[in-house]
Structure 1
Amino acid sequence: MSGEETPQSAVETPLSLEQRVAAANIRVPARGNRKLDRLIDAVNADVQLKAWWHAAAINAERLEMSDHSWVHIQIVTNIGLRLARLLFRRGVVPSVVADHGLTERDAEVVIAAAALFHCVGMSIHRADHEQFSLFLTADKLPKLLEPIYDEPTRTIIVAEASHAIISHRSKGAPFTIEGAIVRVADALDMAKGRSRADKLLPNIHSVSSKAIESVKILPGREKAVRIEIEMSNSAGIYQVDEGLGTKLRGTPLAEHLEVVARIDAEHEQRLVPVFRL
Protein backbone atom coordinates (compact mmCIF):
# COMPACT_ATOMS: atom_id res chain seq x y z
CA MET A 1 0.00 0.00 0.00
CA SER A 2 1.45 3.38 -1.00
CA GLY A 3 1.82 6.25 1.47
CA GLU A 4 -0.97 8.15 -0.26
CA GLU A 5 -3.58 5.46 0.27
CA THR A 6 -5.99 5.66 3.18
CA PRO A 7 -6.61 2.47 5.16
CA GLN A 8 -10.19 1.31 4.73
CA SER A 9 -10.66 1.24 8.52
CA ALA A 10 -9.82 4.96 8.70
CA VAL A 11 -12.54 5.99 6.23
CA GLU A 12 -15.65 7.12 8.06
CA THR A 13 -18.84 5.77 6.60
CA PRO A 14 -21.46 8.53 6.52
CA LEU A 15 -24.58 7.89 8.54
CA SER A 16 -27.60 6.80 6.58
CA LEU A 17 -30.79 8.85 6.57
CA GLU A 18 -32.38 6.33 8.90
CA GLN A 19 -29.48 6.60 11.36
CA ARG A 20 -29.50 10.40 11.35
CA VAL A 21 -33.25 10.51 11.99
CA ALA A 22 -33.05 7.85 14.70
CA ALA A 23 -30.35 9.85 16.52
CA ALA A 24 -32.81 12.64 17.30
CA ASN A 25 -33.94 11.96 20.86
CA ILE A 26 -35.38 14.74 22.97
CA ARG A 27 -34.55 14.90 26.67
CA VAL A 28 -36.38 17.18 29.07
CA PRO A 29 -36.77 17.17 32.87
CA ALA A 30 -40.35 15.97 33.37
CA ARG A 31 -40.11 16.41 37.16
CA GLY A 32 -42.92 14.02 37.91
CA ASN A 33 -45.20 15.28 35.13
CA ARG A 34 -46.34 11.91 33.80
CA LYS A 35 -48.34 13.42 30.93
CA LEU A 36 -45.29 15.33 29.76
CA ASP A 37 -43.16 12.22 30.14
CA ARG A 38 -45.58 10.21 28.00
CA LEU A 39 -45.62 12.91 25.31
CA ILE A 40 -41.82 12.94 25.10
CA ASP A 41 -41.75 9.14 24.86
CA ALA A 42 -44.32 9.24 22.04
CA VAL A 43 -42.36 11.95 20.21
CA ASN A 44 -39.09 10.04 20.45
CA ALA A 45 -40.80 6.97 19.01
CA ASP A 46 -42.32 8.87 16.07
CA VAL A 47 -40.08 8.53 13.00
CA GLN A 48 -42.18 10.87 10.86
CA LEU A 49 -41.88 13.80 13.28
CA LYS A 50 -38.15 13.24 13.63
CA ALA A 51 -37.84 13.12 9.84
CA TRP A 52 -39.55 16.54 9.68
CA TRP A 53 -36.93 17.88 12.10
CA HIS A 54 -34.19 16.47 9.89
CA ALA A 55 -35.69 18.01 6.74
CA ALA A 56 -36.07 21.37 8.55
CA ALA A 57 -32.40 21.25 9.53
CA ILE A 58 -31.33 20.54 5.94
CA ASN A 59 -33.37 23.48 4.63
CA ALA A 60 -31.79 25.75 7.25
CA GLU A 61 -28.34 24.61 6.09
CA ARG A 62 -29.30 25.26 2.46
CA LEU A 63 -30.27 28.80 3.42
CA GLU A 64 -27.20 29.24 5.68
CA MET A 65 -29.48 29.97 8.61
CA SER A 66 -28.99 29.25 12.29
CA ASP A 67 -29.53 25.68 13.45
CA HIS A 68 -33.08 24.33 13.09
CA SER A 69 -32.28 20.70 13.85
CA TRP A 70 -33.65 18.58 16.68
CA VAL A 71 -30.98 20.20 18.87
CA HIS A 72 -32.78 23.54 18.45
CA ILE A 73 -36.04 21.79 19.29
CA GLN A 74 -34.59 20.34 22.48
CA ILE A 75 -33.07 23.66 23.55
CA VAL A 76 -36.30 25.60 22.98
CA THR A 77 -38.35 22.94 24.80
CA ASN A 78 -36.03 23.01 27.80
CA ILE A 79 -35.90 26.81 27.89
CA GLY A 80 -39.69 26.95 27.67
CA LEU A 81 -40.11 24.59 30.59
CA ARG A 82 -37.47 26.44 32.60
CA LEU A 83 -39.27 29.75 32.06
CA ALA A 84 -42.63 28.20 32.86
CA ARG A 85 -41.53 26.68 36.14
CA LEU A 86 -39.89 29.89 37.34
CA LEU A 87 -42.99 31.88 36.40
CA PHE A 88 -45.46 29.47 37.97
CA ARG A 89 -43.38 29.35 41.15
CA ARG A 90 -43.82 33.12 41.46
CA GLY A 91 -47.57 32.94 41.05
CA VAL A 92 -47.97 33.61 37.33
CA VAL A 93 -51.09 31.67 36.33
CA PRO A 94 -50.98 29.74 33.04
CA SER A 95 -53.75 30.55 30.59
CA VAL A 96 -54.99 26.95 30.46
CA VAL A 97 -55.49 27.11 34.22
CA ALA A 98 -57.22 30.51 34.21
CA ASP A 99 -59.40 29.86 31.16
CA HIS A 100 -60.01 26.10 31.05
CA GLY A 101 -59.60 24.96 34.63
CA LEU A 102 -56.67 22.71 33.76
CA THR A 103 -53.42 22.41 35.72
CA GLU A 104 -49.89 23.76 35.59
CA ARG A 105 -48.76 20.35 34.41
CA ASP A 106 -51.16 20.59 31.48
CA ALA A 107 -49.62 24.00 30.74
CA GLU A 108 -46.21 22.31 30.60
CA VAL A 109 -47.58 19.86 28.03
CA VAL A 110 -48.90 22.75 25.92
CA ILE A 111 -45.52 24.50 26.05
CA ALA A 112 -43.56 21.35 25.25
CA ALA A 113 -45.90 20.36 22.42
CA ALA A 114 -45.65 23.82 20.85
CA ALA A 115 -41.86 23.86 21.17
CA LEU A 116 -41.59 20.39 19.65
CA PHE A 117 -43.68 21.38 16.62
CA HIS A 118 -42.94 25.10 16.26
CA CYS A 119 -40.69 24.86 13.23
CA VAL A 120 -41.58 21.54 11.57
CA GLY A 121 -42.91 23.70 8.75
CA MET A 122 -39.30 24.51 7.88
CA SER A 123 -39.26 21.04 6.33
CA ILE A 124 -41.44 22.56 3.57
CA HIS A 125 -40.21 26.14 3.22
CA ARG A 126 -38.80 29.01 5.25
CA ALA A 127 -41.45 31.46 4.07
CA ASP A 128 -44.66 31.00 6.07
CA HIS A 129 -43.11 28.04 7.87
CA GLU A 130 -45.19 28.81 10.97
CA GLN A 131 -48.39 28.20 9.00
CA PHE A 132 -46.97 25.03 7.50
CA SER A 133 -46.11 23.94 11.03
CA LEU A 134 -49.78 24.33 11.96
CA PHE A 135 -51.17 21.94 9.40
CA LEU A 136 -48.51 19.33 10.15
CA THR A 137 -49.29 19.72 13.85
CA ALA A 138 -53.03 19.39 13.25
CA ASP A 139 -52.52 15.93 11.82
CA LYS A 140 -49.84 14.60 14.16
CA LEU A 141 -50.28 16.09 17.64
CA PRO A 142 -53.82 14.75 18.33
CA LYS A 143 -52.57 11.23 17.57
CA LEU A 144 -49.64 11.61 19.97
CA LEU A 145 -51.94 12.93 22.69
CA GLU A 146 -54.71 10.36 22.20
CA PRO A 147 -53.35 7.90 24.80
CA ILE A 148 -52.70 10.76 27.23
CA TYR A 149 -55.83 12.94 27.15
CA ASP A 150 -59.53 12.29 26.64
CA GLU A 151 -61.81 14.71 24.87
CA PRO A 152 -62.52 17.57 25.17
CA THR A 153 -59.21 18.21 26.99
CA ARG A 154 -57.17 16.80 24.12
CA THR A 155 -58.66 19.32 21.68
CA ILE A 156 -57.97 22.18 24.11
CA ILE A 157 -54.32 21.13 24.46
CA VAL A 158 -53.93 20.99 20.67
CA ALA A 159 -55.64 24.37 20.21
CA GLU A 160 -53.49 26.08 22.84
CA ALA A 161 -50.30 24.53 21.46
CA SER A 162 -51.28 25.63 17.96
CA HIS A 163 -51.79 29.19 19.19
CA ALA A 164 -48.28 29.12 20.66
CA ILE A 165 -46.83 27.78 17.40
CA ILE A 166 -48.31 30.51 15.18
CA SER A 167 -47.44 33.15 17.79
CA HIS A 168 -43.69 32.60 17.39
CA ARG A 169 -43.66 34.20 13.92
CA SER A 170 -42.12 37.65 13.54
CA LYS A 171 -45.40 39.52 13.94
CA GLY A 172 -47.01 36.94 16.18
CA ALA A 173 -49.14 38.37 18.96
CA PRO A 174 -49.56 35.73 21.67
CA PHE A 175 -52.35 36.41 24.11
CA THR A 176 -51.62 33.43 26.36
CA ILE A 177 -48.85 32.92 28.87
CA GLU A 178 -47.92 29.65 27.20
CA GLY A 179 -47.74 31.24 23.75
CA ALA A 180 -45.52 34.03 25.04
CA ILE A 181 -43.23 31.51 26.75
CA VAL A 182 -42.66 29.57 23.52
CA ARG A 183 -42.09 32.80 21.56
CA VAL A 184 -39.44 34.00 24.01
CA ALA A 185 -37.87 30.55 24.39
CA ASP A 186 -37.31 30.40 20.64
CA ALA A 187 -35.53 33.76 20.73
CA LEU A 188 -33.34 32.69 23.66
CA ASP A 189 -31.58 29.99 21.66
CA MET A 190 -28.81 32.48 20.97
CA ALA A 191 -25.83 31.37 23.06
CA LYS A 192 -22.33 31.05 21.62
CA GLY A 193 -22.03 28.36 18.98
CA ARG A 194 -25.75 28.28 18.23
CA SER A 195 -25.74 30.71 15.28
CA ARG A 196 -24.36 30.08 11.83
CA ALA A 197 -22.82 33.37 10.68
CA ASP A 198 -23.67 34.46 7.17
CA LYS A 199 -20.81 33.25 4.97
CA LEU A 200 -21.52 35.74 2.19
CA LEU A 201 -22.46 39.01 3.85
CA PRO A 202 -20.90 40.15 7.16
CA ASN A 203 -24.09 41.97 8.12
CA ILE A 204 -25.42 43.11 11.49
CA HIS A 205 -27.41 39.89 11.93
CA SER A 206 -24.35 37.62 11.71
CA VAL A 207 -22.03 39.97 13.59
CA SER A 208 -24.46 40.49 16.47
CA SER A 209 -25.22 36.79 16.83
CA LYS A 210 -21.52 35.98 17.11
CA ALA A 211 -21.21 38.49 19.97
CA ILE A 212 -23.48 36.52 22.34
CA GLU A 213 -21.33 34.52 24.75
CA SER A 214 -23.88 33.01 27.14
CA VAL A 215 -27.50 33.16 28.25
CA LYS A 216 -28.62 32.43 31.82
CA ILE A 217 -32.22 32.04 32.96
CA LEU A 218 -32.48 32.73 36.68
CA PRO A 219 -35.09 33.40 39.36
CA GLY A 220 -35.72 37.12 39.37
CA ARG A 221 -35.60 39.61 42.19
CA GLU A 222 -38.19 42.25 41.35
CA LYS A 223 -39.69 40.16 38.55
CA ALA A 224 -40.31 36.44 38.25
CA VAL A 225 -37.47 35.71 35.83
CA ARG A 226 -34.12 37.36 35.17
CA ILE A 227 -32.37 36.75 31.85
CA GLU A 228 -28.64 37.49 31.96
CA ILE A 229 -26.84 37.73 28.63
CA GLU A 230 -23.06 38.03 28.38
CA MET A 231 -21.71 39.69 25.24
CA SER A 232 -18.18 39.95 23.87
CA ASN A 233 -18.98 42.91 21.65
CA SER A 234 -21.43 45.82 21.61
CA ALA A 235 -22.88 44.49 18.37
CA GLY A 236 -24.71 41.92 20.46
CA ILE A 237 -27.13 44.63 21.56
CA TYR A 238 -28.81 44.33 18.17
CA GLN A 239 -29.45 40.62 18.77
CA VAL A 240 -30.85 41.31 22.23
CA ASP A 241 -32.99 44.31 21.32
CA GLU A 242 -34.20 43.37 17.84
CA GLY A 243 -34.26 39.61 18.39
CA LEU A 244 -35.32 38.96 21.95
CA GLY A 245 -36.82 42.39 22.58
CA THR A 246 -39.12 42.14 19.59
CA LYS A 247 -40.31 38.71 20.72
CA LEU A 248 -40.92 39.87 24.30
CA ARG A 249 -42.49 43.32 23.98
CA GLY A 250 -46.27 43.41 24.01
CA THR A 251 -46.67 39.84 25.26
CA PRO A 252 -48.23 38.74 28.58
CA LEU A 253 -44.69 37.81 29.63
CA ALA A 254 -43.17 41.29 29.33
CA GLU A 255 -44.09 42.39 32.86
CA HIS A 256 -42.63 39.23 34.39
CA LEU A 257 -39.17 39.14 32.75
CA GLU A 258 -36.11 41.26 33.35
CA VAL A 259 -33.41 41.13 30.67
CA VAL A 260 -29.89 42.36 31.41
CA ALA A 261 -27.13 42.20 28.79
CA ARG A 262 -23.56 42.88 29.87
CA ILE A 263 -20.47 43.60 27.82
CA ASP A 264 -17.31 42.29 29.42
CA ALA A 265 -14.63 42.91 26.82
CA GLU A 266 -11.27 44.56 27.28
CA HIS A 267 -10.61 44.87 23.55
CA GLU A 268 -13.29 47.48 22.83
CA GLN A 269 -14.47 50.78 24.19
CA ARG A 270 -17.46 50.06 26.39
CA LEU A 271 -20.00 52.44 24.95
CA VAL A 272 -22.87 50.59 26.62
CA PRO A 273 -21.55 48.38 29.45
CA VAL A 274 -25.04 47.25 30.52
CA PHE A 275 -28.18 47.06 28.37
CA ARG A 276 -31.63 46.37 29.79
CA LEU A 277 -34.97 45.51 28.22
Structure 2
Amino acid sequence: MQKSYKENKLEDGILSKLSGKSKQIASLIFNDREIITLQNHSNIVSIKRLGYNDHGPVHMKKTALNAMIMFGLLKNKNIKFNLEKEELGNSEDSRISILLASLLHDIGMSIGRDNHEFLSVNLSIPIITRLLKKIYPKNIEKRTVIRSTVIEGIIGHMANRTITSIEAGLVIIADGCDLEKGRARIPSLLSNEAKAGDIHRFSAQTITKLEIDEGKNKPIRINVHMKESAGLFQVEKVLLPKIKFSTIKPFIELYATINNSKKRNYL
Protein backbone atom coordinates (compact mmCIF):
# COMPACT_ATOMS: atom_id res chain seq x y z
CA MET A 1 0.00 0.00 0.00
CA GLN A 2 1.34 3.41 -0.96
CA LYS A 3 1.79 5.81 1.93
CA SER A 4 1.08 9.53 1.80
CA TYR A 5 3.78 12.18 1.98
CA LYS A 6 2.57 13.10 5.48
CA GLU A 7 2.80 9.49 6.70
CA ASN A 8 6.34 9.15 5.39
CA LYS A 9 7.35 12.47 6.96
CA LEU A 10 5.90 11.42 10.34
CA GLU A 11 7.68 8.06 10.15
CA ASP A 12 10.99 9.84 9.46
CA GLY A 13 10.34 12.15 12.42
CA ILE A 14 9.64 9.24 14.74
CA LEU A 15 12.66 7.22 13.59
CA SER A 16 14.94 10.26 14.06
CA LYS A 17 14.14 10.18 17.78
CA LEU A 18 14.85 6.46 18.22
CA SER A 19 17.79 4.09 18.37
CA GLY A 20 18.42 0.46 19.18
CA LYS A 21 15.43 -1.77 19.92
CA SER A 22 12.84 1.01 19.76
CA LYS A 23 14.01 1.99 16.28
CA GLN A 24 13.96 -1.66 15.27
CA ILE A 25 10.36 -2.16 16.41
CA ALA A 26 9.24 1.11 14.81
CA SER A 27 10.63 -0.07 11.47
CA LEU A 28 8.82 -3.39 11.87
CA ILE A 29 5.54 -1.57 12.57
CA PHE A 30 5.93 0.82 9.62
CA ASN A 31 6.40 -2.15 7.26
CA ASP A 32 3.83 -4.52 8.78
CA ARG A 33 1.04 -5.11 6.26
CA GLU A 34 -1.49 -6.13 8.91
CA ILE A 35 -0.93 -2.93 10.90
CA ILE A 36 -0.95 -0.76 7.76
CA THR A 37 -4.25 -2.35 6.67
CA LEU A 38 -5.86 -1.90 10.08
CA GLN A 39 -4.76 1.74 10.32
CA ASN A 40 -6.10 2.54 6.86
CA HIS A 41 -9.37 0.70 7.43
CA SER A 42 -9.82 2.61 10.70
CA ASN A 43 -9.97 5.79 8.66
CA ILE A 44 -12.48 4.35 6.21
CA VAL A 45 -14.82 3.50 9.08
CA SER A 46 -14.16 6.71 11.00
CA ILE A 47 -14.39 9.21 8.15
CA LYS A 48 -16.39 7.66 5.32
CA ARG A 49 -18.91 5.65 7.34
CA LEU A 50 -19.22 7.63 10.57
CA GLY A 51 -18.20 11.15 9.58
CA TYR A 52 -15.64 11.50 12.37
CA ASN A 53 -12.18 13.02 12.10
CA ASP A 54 -8.91 11.22 11.34
CA HIS A 55 -8.35 8.03 13.35
CA GLY A 56 -6.04 6.41 10.82
CA PRO A 57 -2.33 6.13 10.06
CA VAL A 58 -1.58 9.86 10.15
CA HIS A 59 -3.31 10.32 13.51
CA MET A 60 -1.67 7.28 15.09
CA LYS A 61 1.77 8.31 13.81
CA LYS A 62 1.20 11.89 14.97
CA THR A 63 0.32 10.49 18.39
CA ALA A 64 3.52 8.44 18.37
CA LEU A 65 5.63 11.46 17.41
CA ASN A 66 4.03 13.55 20.17
CA ALA A 67 4.73 10.72 22.60
CA MET A 68 8.38 10.42 21.60
CA ILE A 69 8.89 14.19 22.01
CA MET A 70 7.37 14.12 25.49
CA PHE A 71 9.26 10.95 26.39
CA GLY A 72 12.52 12.73 25.58
CA LEU A 73 11.58 15.79 27.65
CA LEU A 74 10.74 13.65 30.68
CA LYS A 75 13.88 11.57 30.31
CA ASN A 76 16.01 14.74 30.09
CA LYS A 77 14.66 15.70 33.51
CA ASN A 78 15.59 12.26 34.90
CA ILE A 79 11.98 11.27 35.45
CA LYS A 80 11.78 7.50 35.65
CA PHE A 81 8.94 5.57 34.04
CA ASN A 82 7.21 2.76 35.89
CA LEU A 83 9.01 -0.16 34.26
CA GLU A 84 12.32 1.28 35.42
CA LYS A 85 11.11 2.45 38.84
CA GLU A 86 9.68 -0.98 39.58
CA GLU A 87 12.79 -2.74 38.22
CA LEU A 88 10.81 -4.50 35.50
CA GLY A 89 12.80 -3.01 32.64
CA ASN A 90 14.64 0.10 31.54
CA SER A 91 13.73 3.36 29.81
CA GLU A 92 14.08 1.75 26.38
CA ASP A 93 11.46 -0.84 27.34
CA SER A 94 9.16 2.00 28.42
CA ARG A 95 9.77 3.78 25.12
CA ILE A 96 8.81 0.62 23.22
CA SER A 97 5.64 0.25 25.29
CA ILE A 98 4.60 3.85 24.56
CA LEU A 99 5.47 3.55 20.87
CA LEU A 100 3.41 0.38 20.40
CA ALA A 101 0.41 1.78 22.28
CA SER A 102 0.52 5.03 20.29
CA LEU A 103 0.66 3.28 16.92
CA LEU A 104 -2.07 0.74 17.73
CA HIS A 105 -4.46 2.65 20.02
CA ASP A 106 -7.14 3.37 17.41
CA ILE A 107 -7.08 0.24 15.23
CA GLY A 108 -10.36 -0.78 16.88
CA MET A 109 -11.96 2.00 14.82
CA SER A 110 -11.63 -0.44 11.93
CA ILE A 111 -14.66 -2.16 13.54
CA GLY A 112 -16.58 0.75 15.05
CA ARG A 113 -16.55 3.70 17.44
CA ASP A 114 -18.33 2.21 20.46
CA ASN A 115 -15.80 0.77 22.93
CA HIS A 116 -13.17 1.02 20.22
CA GLU A 117 -10.38 1.04 22.81
CA PHE A 118 -11.40 -2.50 23.84
CA LEU A 119 -11.60 -3.53 20.19
CA SER A 120 -8.11 -2.08 19.69
CA VAL A 121 -6.82 -4.26 22.53
CA ASN A 122 -8.35 -7.41 21.05
CA LEU A 123 -6.86 -6.71 17.64
CA SER A 124 -3.51 -5.66 19.11
CA ILE A 125 -2.71 -8.57 21.41
CA PRO A 126 -1.51 -11.02 18.70
CA ILE A 127 0.34 -8.17 16.93
CA ILE A 128 2.10 -7.06 20.11
CA THR A 129 2.99 -10.67 20.94
CA ARG A 130 4.36 -11.24 17.44
CA LEU A 131 6.48 -8.07 17.36
CA LEU A 132 7.89 -8.36 20.87
CA LYS A 133 9.00 -11.91 20.18
CA LYS A 134 11.27 -10.51 17.47
CA ILE A 135 12.77 -7.90 19.80
CA TYR A 136 13.01 -10.02 22.98
CA PRO A 137 13.23 -13.58 21.60
CA LYS A 138 14.55 -15.15 24.83
CA ASN A 139 12.89 -13.01 27.49
CA ILE A 140 9.27 -14.03 28.01
CA GLU A 141 9.06 -12.10 31.29
CA LYS A 142 9.94 -8.81 29.63
CA ARG A 143 7.62 -9.50 26.69
CA THR A 144 4.77 -10.16 29.11
CA VAL A 145 5.29 -7.01 31.19
CA ILE A 146 5.69 -4.78 28.14
CA ARG A 147 2.56 -6.26 26.56
CA SER A 148 0.55 -5.42 29.69
CA THR A 149 1.92 -1.88 29.67
CA VAL A 150 1.01 -1.46 25.99
CA ILE A 151 -2.52 -2.71 26.66
CA GLU A 152 -2.90 -0.24 29.53
CA GLY A 153 -1.88 2.58 27.19
CA ILE A 154 -4.38 1.49 24.53
CA ILE A 155 -7.33 0.82 26.82
CA GLY A 156 -6.74 4.02 28.80
CA HIS A 157 -6.44 6.50 25.93
CA MET A 158 -10.08 7.62 26.15
CA ALA A 159 -9.45 8.80 29.74
CA ASN A 160 -12.49 6.94 31.05
CA ARG A 161 -10.80 4.19 33.04
CA THR A 162 -8.14 4.39 35.72
CA ILE A 163 -4.53 4.03 34.63
CA THR A 164 -1.54 3.75 36.95
CA SER A 165 1.64 3.99 34.86
CA ILE A 166 3.47 7.01 33.53
CA GLU A 167 3.77 5.14 30.23
CA ALA A 168 -0.02 4.98 29.78
CA GLY A 169 -0.43 8.55 31.03
CA LEU A 170 1.88 9.79 28.31
CA VAL A 171 -0.10 8.00 25.59
CA ILE A 172 -3.33 9.71 26.68
CA ILE A 173 -1.84 13.18 26.32
CA ALA A 174 0.02 12.38 23.10
CA ASP A 175 -3.33 11.31 21.61
CA GLY A 176 -5.08 14.43 22.92
CA CYS A 177 -2.40 16.68 21.41
CA ASP A 178 -3.44 15.82 17.85
CA LEU A 179 -5.70 18.85 17.61
CA GLU A 180 -4.49 20.70 14.54
CA LYS A 181 -6.81 21.62 11.69
CA GLY A 182 -5.42 18.92 9.38
CA ARG A 183 -7.13 16.23 11.44
CA ALA A 184 -10.56 17.59 10.42
CA ARG A 185 -9.65 18.38 6.81
CA ILE A 186 -10.93 15.22 5.11
CA PRO A 187 -14.37 15.09 6.83
CA SER A 188 -14.83 18.77 5.97
CA LEU A 189 -14.05 18.12 2.31
CA LEU A 190 -16.41 15.15 2.16
CA SER A 191 -19.43 16.88 3.68
CA ASN A 192 -20.65 20.36 4.55
CA GLU A 193 -23.93 19.11 5.98
CA ALA A 194 -24.55 19.90 9.64
CA LYS A 195 -24.55 16.93 11.99
CA ALA A 196 -24.13 16.11 15.67
CA GLY A 197 -20.57 16.61 16.84
CA ASP A 198 -19.68 19.27 14.29
CA ILE A 199 -18.31 21.52 17.03
CA HIS A 200 -15.30 19.18 17.19
CA ARG A 201 -14.70 19.54 13.47
CA PHE A 202 -15.16 23.31 13.30
CA SER A 203 -13.17 24.06 16.45
CA ALA A 204 -10.33 21.85 15.19
CA GLN A 205 -10.20 23.88 11.97
CA THR A 206 -9.22 26.97 13.97
CA ILE A 207 -6.16 25.26 15.54
CA THR A 208 -3.12 26.32 13.50
CA LYS A 209 -0.31 24.72 15.47
CA LEU A 210 0.43 22.77 18.64
CA GLU A 211 3.92 22.98 20.10
CA ILE A 212 5.47 20.58 22.61
CA ASP A 213 8.61 21.99 24.21
CA GLU A 214 10.51 22.10 27.46
CA GLY A 215 8.53 24.03 30.06
CA LYS A 216 9.74 26.89 32.26
CA ASN A 217 8.62 25.37 35.56
CA LYS A 218 7.73 21.83 34.50
CA PRO A 219 9.34 19.36 32.08
CA ILE A 220 6.74 19.73 29.30
CA ARG A 221 5.05 22.82 27.87
CA ILE A 222 2.13 22.42 25.46
CA ASN A 223 1.11 25.57 23.61
CA VAL A 224 -1.97 25.44 21.34
CA HIS A 225 -2.11 28.21 18.73
CA MET A 226 -5.45 29.12 17.16
CA LYS A 227 -6.83 31.82 14.88
CA GLU A 228 -10.19 32.07 16.66
CA SER A 229 -11.46 31.48 20.19
CA ALA A 230 -13.61 28.56 18.91
CA GLY A 231 -10.44 26.50 19.21
CA LEU A 232 -10.70 26.78 22.99
CA PHE A 233 -13.36 24.08 22.80
CA GLN A 234 -10.68 21.62 21.66
CA VAL A 235 -8.39 22.67 24.49
CA GLU A 236 -11.00 22.70 27.25
CA LYS A 237 -13.16 19.74 26.21
CA VAL A 238 -10.63 17.42 24.58
CA LEU A 239 -7.05 18.05 25.70
CA LEU A 240 -7.44 19.49 29.21
CA PRO A 241 -9.63 16.62 30.53
CA LYS A 242 -7.06 14.12 29.26
CA ILE A 243 -4.25 15.97 30.98
CA LYS A 244 -6.19 16.18 34.25
CA PHE A 245 -6.85 12.43 34.04
CA SER A 246 -3.27 11.53 33.20
CA THR A 247 -0.55 10.30 35.54
CA ILE A 248 1.84 12.87 34.01
CA LYS A 249 -0.33 15.90 34.79
CA PRO A 250 2.24 17.17 37.39
CA PHE A 251 4.80 17.48 34.59
CA ILE A 252 2.68 19.57 32.16
CA GLU A 253 2.26 23.29 31.45
CA LEU A 254 -0.67 24.10 29.11
CA TYR A 255 -1.21 27.34 27.23
CA ALA A 256 -3.62 28.47 24.51
CA THR A 257 -2.70 31.39 22.24
CA ILE A 258 -5.38 33.14 20.18
CA ASN A 259 -4.29 35.06 17.09
CA ASN A 260 -0.70 35.28 18.36
CA SER A 261 -1.73 37.70 21.09
CA LYS A 262 -4.18 36.56 23.77
CA LYS A 263 -2.66 33.81 25.89
CA ARG A 264 -4.44 31.60 28.43
CA ASN A 265 -2.60 29.60 31.04
CA TYR A 266 -4.45 26.42 32.08
CA LEU A 267 -1.82 24.56 34.08
The interval holding the TM-score normalised by the smaller chain is 0.7 to 0.9
Deviation at 1:139, TM superposition (A): 1.1
Query: Residues 225 and 155 from structure 1, CA distance in 2 versus in 1: closer, same or farther, beyond 3 angstroms?
Result: same
Whether contact under 8 Å (2:226, 2:258) holds in the other structure is: yes
Look up the match of 1:5. none
Q: Which residue, 237, 248, 264 being the options, matches 2:243?
A: 248
Query: Residues 102 and 170 from structure 1, CA distance in 2 versus in 1: closer, same or farther, beyond 3 angstroms?
Result: closer
Whether contact under 8 Å (2:101, 2:153) holds in the other structure is: yes
Look up the match of 1:276. 266
Deviation at 1:24, TM superposition (A): 6.4
Look up the match of 1:147. 134
Deviation at 1:30, TM superposition (A): 5.2
Secondary structure of the 2:229 match is coil
Q: Which residue, 68, 75, 90 being the options, matches 1:103?
A: 90
Q: Once superposed, what is the RMSD of the aligned Cα atoms?
A: 2.2
Secondary structure of the 2:134 match is coil
Whether contact under 8 Å (2:221, 2:253) holds in the other structure is: yes
1:46 and 2:39 correspond? no
Rg (Cα) greater in structure: 1
The amino acid that maps onto 2:121 is: L
Deviation at 1:49, TM superposition (A): 1.4
Runs of 5+ in structure 1 lacking a partner? 1-17
Whether contact under 8 Å (1:33, 1:105) holds in the other structure is: no
1:200 and 2:187 correspond? no
1:210 and 2:210 correspond? no
Look up the match of 1:137. 124
Look up the match of 1:165. 154
Deviation at 1:31, TM superposition (A): 4.4
Q: Which residue, 149, 152, 174 being the options, matches 1:185?
A: 174
Query: Residues 251 and 44 from structure 1, CA distance in 2 versus in 1: closer, same or farther, beyond 3 angstroms?
Result: closer
Q: CA offsets, 1:156-211, max 9 Å, x none?
A: 11110000000002413321111011110111111132224473327432232122
The amino acid that maps onto 1:180 is: G
How many residue pairs align between the two structures?
254
Whether contact under 8 Å (2:206, 2:231) holds in the other structure is: yes
Q: Which residue, 4, 19, 42 being the options, matches 1:56?
A: 42
Q: CA offsets, 1:19-65, max 9 Å, x none?
A: 469x9664413545311111112212321111111110101112121
Runs of 5+ in structure 2 lacking a partner? none
Distance, in Å, in 1 between the alignment partners of 2:217 and 2:130 is 42
Whether contact under 8 Å (1:218, 1:226) holds in the other structure is: yes
Look up the match of 2:102. 115
Whether contact under 8 Å (1:115, 1:165) holds in the other structure is: yes
1:239 and 2:234 correspond? yes
1:227 and 2:216 correspond? no
Whether contact under 8 Å (2:60, 2:102) holds in the other structure is: yes
The amino acid that maps onto 1:251 is: S
Deviation at 1:105, TM superposition (A): 1.1
Whether contact under 8 Å (1:77, 1:115) holds in the other structure is: yes
Deviation at 1:216, TM superposition (A): 0.4
Query: Residues 180 and 100 from structure 1, CA distance in 2 versus in 1: closer, same or farther, beyond 3 angstroms?
Result: same
Distance, in Å, in 2 between the alignment partners of 1:161 and 1:170 is 15
The structure with the greater share of residues assigned to helix is: 2
Secondary structure of the 2:114 match is coil
Whether contact under 8 Å (2:200, 2:234) holds in the other structure is: yes
Secondary structure of the 2:216 match is coil
Distance, in Å, in 1 between the alignment partners of 2:17 and 2:117 is 29
Deviation at 1:100, TM superposition (A): 3.4
